Amino acid sequence: MKLAKSIAVTIAVSTATLLVSSVVVAETPREAAVKVGKLLAQDLKQDSADNPQADDEIFLKRAMLDIIGRLPTPEEAISFAIDPAEDKREKLVHRLLKTDEFGSNWARYWRDVILYRRTEERALLASQKLEEFLTQQLNSDTSWDKIATAFVTAEGDVREEGATALIMAQSGQPEDTVAEISRIFMGIQIQCAQCHDHPTDRWKREQFHQLAAFFPRVAVRPVREGEKRSFAVVSQDRFFSRPSNNNNRYRGTSEHSMKDLEKPEERGKVMTPVLFTTGESLRIGATDDSRRESLAKWMTSENNSWFAKAYVNRIWAELVGEGFYEPIDDIGPDRDCSAPQTMDYLAEQFVANDYDVKWLFETITATDAYQLRSQRRRNYDETPFQANCNQRLRADQLFSSLISVLGVEEPGAREFNRQGYSARFSARNLFNTAFGFDPSDPRAEVKASIPQALLMMNSPIISRAISARSDTGLGRLLRQIDDDEELITELYLRAYSRAPTDEEVKICTGFIKKIGNRGEAFEDILWSLINSTEFQYRR
Amino acid sequence: MSTKLHHTMNVSVGKNGLTSRRDFVKALGAGGAAVAGMGWMDRMTAEAAALRERGMSCILLWMQGGPSQFETFSPKAGHKNGGETKAISTDVSGIQISEHLPNTAGVMDDVCLIRSMNSKEGSHPRASYLLHTGYVPTASVKYPTLGSIASQQIGNDQLDLPSFVRIGRARGAGGAGFLGVEYDPFQMQTAKRQPENTEIPSTEQRYQRRLGLLGQLEGQFEKNGGEQEVADHRKLYNKASKIVLSPQMNAFDIQQESAAMRNAYGDSEFGAGCLLARRLVETGATFVEVAAGNWDTHQDNFSRSQELCEQVDQPYAQLLKDLKQRGMLDRTLVVWMGEFGRTPRINARGGRDHYPRAFNVALAGGGVRGGQVIGKTDAGGVSVTDRPVGVTDLFRTICHSLKIDGDDTNMSSIGRPIPIVEGGETVSEVFG
């Protein structure tokens, strides 16, 4: 059945592509990046941005953190610096997109997008499979429409089928599930219309419940095998018994109804499944398969431009530092777009390129807007896209950076069991608990916390890892490199992917002299580097 | 100087319930005679300190897993639903509670018992969220938990320590949500050790040396487009360092209490948590949450509830007595609650299952009139028969005690105004 689904979708998409290609010609990333430059200049009514292009060392660090989620090694930094090729930035991006680290970096990103909005804590059981599923899909060049389709049509045990995580995160409640599908894949916060017609939005309460009507037959059911416990996303088309009590949703219902707000105790009005953006609909009584497959097909079709726009806006925002729309998951028809022609062009081209995820990464990273030198986030009254924004590292990026700068191996995961629910947890998971944030939240509002600062400054684990004793990364470097300036440069390359300035060398050598104990002084220098703003941000 | 002034002013205004800065200035003027000779700034600070002294605090004793009302505050001895649990008299005539809470029975004159709590949420995560935030979970809005609300609304800005501390493992208890990380709980796994990562890895002198070097090395990024980020980062690191180096950190060390005091709270994890909660509130913390559990007694309800009662009984009673003796009870609301109650029917495994239709909350201190019971259930404890209290009613009541305006709104991240409590009414008898 799975196979049949994906074939059906493939055929639908190919037909759609044929239709579109007669109008919009798919352009290469290089062509598209040039076009974006022109359109952006028109949108912003200026010839070029105020800011110069970023240097190679900054570009390298930026591209590596953005695409594969970690810092360059000193070897990578040096070989990029001495490469004379004109097109080395383009080649770098191309090479990074081919590594497996690309998939795992962005799988972790989407894992957070989905799981940070969980209303069911135990959705964390699905976390690891979700990450594996996305890593595998992204690394095997699965197009974005197919990935979205997998989430909408998912079934099975949440510890086995990674795509079930989105439904599991909302415990299969139709309203919450479709609200998330709409937000994540179309950038429309339709749930505002859940209780009342929103005064400033065009979608009506009825349309929200028509969307929920694609999901009544889906439920999340507990699974118990001996002592082991889990959950499964299930669906059914035959109904015998009443739904269970305590507001648990272990079984679906045959149809979705919208309650009359005046009479909340009554069942309400049975809703027909209709996709609000395109108006396509099904009849009452349709099977679960046909509901969810239709929703996926209509949502990802080229007729529904929100699907491409939502993805383009989000990835642009992550790479350039600011979306065309902010917040990035609220791009509805009544929202302001800061560069409408550029946005529409990129979305059209993303469709023309068959929702090819890597095409979009190659295109955006090749634009001038991406390659500008970085600045703080702009104020509201300043022109957008004059610089790439400094971004706080996501927890996974910071963890990977720490691992590489401290020269330690990433610790493996351990099986963890609580009341029969087992999951694998690792040092990375624990670190994410402290440093993670919802990637959909406006980045200006994501603030660092005191426990994070305390962890970086005082954690016994980090203290041990920066100790000058011989078995640490620093200990080895102290033995290998006698010259202080050379060692300072090595630490700067590792932590900042750049050489220290003369002034920084002076500060550090002066410090070493004052302390009088080489090991102790270098511990303090490494401590300062990993606790610095430059280390915890991507420029 | 000007930021400092601005800050103090905001704090004072919030605490006093005054509505505008102009009112505040007028209030200061009225007290002019008493503070003659003091400078403007001195007067401001003096006023702020006085107002702060009157500030409210809250200790939430979170009974994780859903405690059985039959084995705690609503025994139904004699009825088949009551099982083997007997009722005992308390220091308030006419109020009987479970035999497993003998110490609590001695402080009931300070406790207001609500026996008619009810909700619709019978799954742990949803119900824990509801009882912590006043809202059912939804994907689009991350509602703040009670402690975050309190620390945002009535938090003490002069305190070096975090104003909201959570002790022990409270599952699904939520965080600051859309209020932002500065109101997140400061989490401690145990009250018996210093909080994680607050012990400096070397000497204080070396710590200062490192901070100094860090400050110098920030210069390069600061000059190259990172000015704003470096300033924010520095502010955060200063705040974190202030915690670590503050003499107030002693508040976290319960060993500083006499052996007699520690014995009075008992040496259980929950006992240590209650003692620490008192120390933190005494130091100026606004909200301390202490978790006990697991009360999820699907089997062997009677023996397990008895054990849990034994863990909770002595520290709870001692906390109320101790707060009272120190003159802190009037401005410290102590809330005892879990996410729901348990079924009247005893299942085949001698357990009770989840039951949100009728359960208990115990309130004390913070202006609450003790020695009374609000609400009733029928003989078998199946339904609420008098004065039902919903979760939003409870939240209004807690806000009332803490002098928080429940109608105040905050903006969610997509710009929707969210009231602290949506609907509900203060249960006025609690204070009457």
Q: How do residues A36-91 score in pLDDT, each as one tens digit? A: 999 999 999 998 888 899 999 999 999 999 999 999 999 999 999 999 999 999 99
- Residue in chain A nearest B217 by alpha carbon: A504
| Per-residue pLDDT at A471 | 86
Residues in A touching B187 (Cβ below 8 Å): 451
What's the mean pLDDT when you consider all of chain B? 87
Question: What is the arithmetic mean of pLDDT over A391-402?
Answer: 96
ipTM of model:
0.90
Asked if A179 lies within 8 A of B140 by C-beta distance, the reply is: yes
Which residues numbered 360-419 in B keep a CB inside 8 Å of some CB on A? 413-414, 416
**Are A373 and B356 within 8 A, CB to CB?**
no
Number of neighbours of residue B305 by Cβ within 10 angstroms: 24
Q: Residue by residue, what is the 3-state secondary structure of B238-274?
A: HHHHHHHHCHHHHHHCHHHCCHHHHHHHCCCHHHHHH
Scanning every residue of chain A, which has its alpha carbon at the shortest distance from the alpha carbon of B244? A454
Instruction: Give tens-digit pLDDT for A445-480.
Output: 788 899 999 999 999 999 999 999 878 999 999 999
Report the distance separating Cα B81 and Cα B70, nearest Å: 8
- What letter does residue A274 receive in the DSSP assignment? B
Residues 456-475 of A with CB under 8 A from B: 457-460, 463
**Among A458, A509, A522, A538, the residue to mutate for chain B (most B Cβ within 10 A):** A458
Residue A8 has pLDDT above 60, yes or no: no
Contact assessment for residue A256 and residue A271, using Cβ atoms and an 8 Å cutoff: yes
Cβ of B236 and A504 within 8 Å?
no
Count Cα atoms within 13 angstroms, Cβ side, for A513.
7
Q: Does B77 touch chain A (CB under 8 A)?
A: no
- Please give the mean pLDDT across all residues of chain A: 91
Check: CB of residue A364 under 8 Å from CB of residue A316. Answer: yes
The minimum CA-CA distance between A244 and chain B, rounded to whole Å, is: 11
pLDDT over 60 at B13, yes or no: no
User: Minimal Cα distance from A51: which residue of B?
Assistant: B225
Question: Do the Cβ atoms of A258 and A271 come closer than 8 Å?
Answer: yes
Say which residues have a Cβ less than 8 Å from residue A277's Cβ, sequence separation at least 6: A186, A188, A299, A304, A306
Interface A-B, measured as beta-carbon pairs within 8 A, has a size of 171
Q: Which two tokens stand for residue B253?
A: 């060390």
Angle at B134 between CA B279 and CA B155, to 5 degrees: 35
Residue with token string 């004699």? B78
Residue B25: the pLDDT is 36
Option in A247, A460, A508 nearest B201 (CB): A460
**In this complex, is the C-beta atom of A533 within 8 Å of any C-beta atom belonging to chain B?**
yes
Q: Which residues in chain B touch residue A247, judged by CB atoms under 8 angstroms apart?
A: 120-123, 126
From B294's Cα to the closest Cα of chain A, the distance in A is: 12
In this predicted model, which residue has the larger pLDDT, B14 or B314?
Answer: B314
Closest CA in chain A for residue B241 = A454
Name the residue in chain A with its Cα closest to that of B200: A458
Q: Which residues of A touch B137 (CB under 8 A)?
A: 119
B198 and A CB contact within 8 Å = yes
Q: Is-contact B71 B81, C-beta < 8 A?
A: no
* Cα A208 from Cα A178, distance rounded (Å): 8
A200 and chain B in contact, CB less than 8 A: no
CA atoms within 13 A on the CB side of B352: 29
Query: What's the residue count for chain B?
Result: 432
Residue B10 CA to residue B6 CA, distance in Å, equals 6
Nearest to B181 among A376, A447, A536 (CB): A447
Residue A511: list chain B partners with CB under 8 A: 213
Least confident among A278-287, A374-383, A472-481, B251-260: A374-383
> Is the link from the previous residue into B294 a cis peptide, with omega within 30 of 0?
yes
How close does chain A come to B408, measured CA to CA in Å? 21
- Kindly report the nearest CA distance between residue B204 and chain A, in angstroms: 12
**Contact: A458, B201; criterion CB under 8 Å:** yes
Mutate: best of B142, B213, B342, B345, partner A, most A CBs <10 A: B213
Measured CA to CA, the distance from residue A328 to residue A312 in angstroms comes to 10
Best mean pLDDT range from A174-183, A250-259, A469-478: A174-183
Single-letter amino acid, residue A253:
T
Q: Is A525 an 8 Å CB contact of chain B?
A: yes
Question: How many Å apart are CA A360 and CA A308, to the nearest integer?
Answer: 11
Average pLDDT over residues A398-419: 86
How much of chain A, in percent, has pLDDT values that exceed 90?
Answer: 76
A241/B contact by beta carbon, under 8 A: no
- State yes or no: pLDDT of A345 exceeds 70: yes
Q: Does A457 contact B162 at a Cβ distance shorter than 8 Å?
A: no
Is the predicted pLDDT of residue B114 greater than 50, yes or no? Answer: yes
In this predicted structure, which of A67-76, A178-187, B309-318, B412-421 has the lowest mean pLDDT? B412-421
- pLDDT bin (cut points 50, 70, 90) of residue A426 is confident
Cα separation, A494 vs A514, in Å, equals 24
**Closest chain B C-alpha to A380 CA, distance in angstroms:** 15
Contacts 24+ apart (CB under 8 A), A10-13: A10/A146, A12/A297, A12/A301, A13/A143, A13/A145, A13/A146, A13/A300, A13/A301, A13/A354, A13/A355
In chain B, residues with a C-beta closer than 8 Å to the C-beta of A501 are 220
CA B417 to centroid of chain Cα atoms: 24
pLDDT, residue A472, reads 92
**B111 pLDDT exceeds 50?**
yes
The closest CB to that of A247, out of B120, B206, B214, belongs to B120
Q: Inter-chain contact B225–A387, Cβ cutoff 8 Å?
A: yes
Contact criterion met (CB < 8 Å) for B197 and A457: yes
Question: Which residue in B186, B216, B229 is closest to A507 by CB distance?
Answer: B216
pLDDT > 90? residue A333: no
Residues 203-242 of chain B whose Cβ lies under 8 A from any Cβ of chain A: 206, 209-210, 213-214, 216-222, 224-230, 232-234, 236-237, 239-241
> Does residue A327 have a cis bond before it (omega within 30 degrees)?
yes
The pLDDT value recorded for residue B35 is: 37
Domain ranges of chain A: 23-52+307-389, 102-300, 395-412+424-538
Of the candidates B275, B251, B250, B252, the residue with the CA atom closest to the CA atom of residue B262:
B275
Report strand pairing: A218-225 vs B372-374: unpaired
Residue B399: band (very low, low, confident or very high) from pLDDT cuts 50, 70, 90? very high
Q: Does position A162 have pLDDT exceeding 90, yes or no?
A: yes
What residues of chain B lie within 8 A of the CB of A448, using their CB? 181, 232-233, 236
CB-CB under 8 Å, B230 with A533: yes
**Nearest-CA distance from B233 to chain A in Å?**
6
pTM (predicted TM-score)? 0.83
In chain B, the largest separation of any two C-alpha atoms, in whole Å, equals 78
d(CA A95, CA A89): 10
Digit-coded pLDDT (tens) for B21-67: 333 333 333 333 333 444 444 444 444 444 445 589 999 999 999 99
CB contact under 8 A, A454 and B354: no
Q: What is the pLDDT of residue B341?
A: 97
Taking CB atoms and an 8 Å limit, are B209 and A524 in contact across chains? yes
- pLDDT tops 70 at residue A242: no
Mean pLDDT within A12-41: 78
> Which chain A residues are within 8 Å of B241, Cβ to Cβ?
457
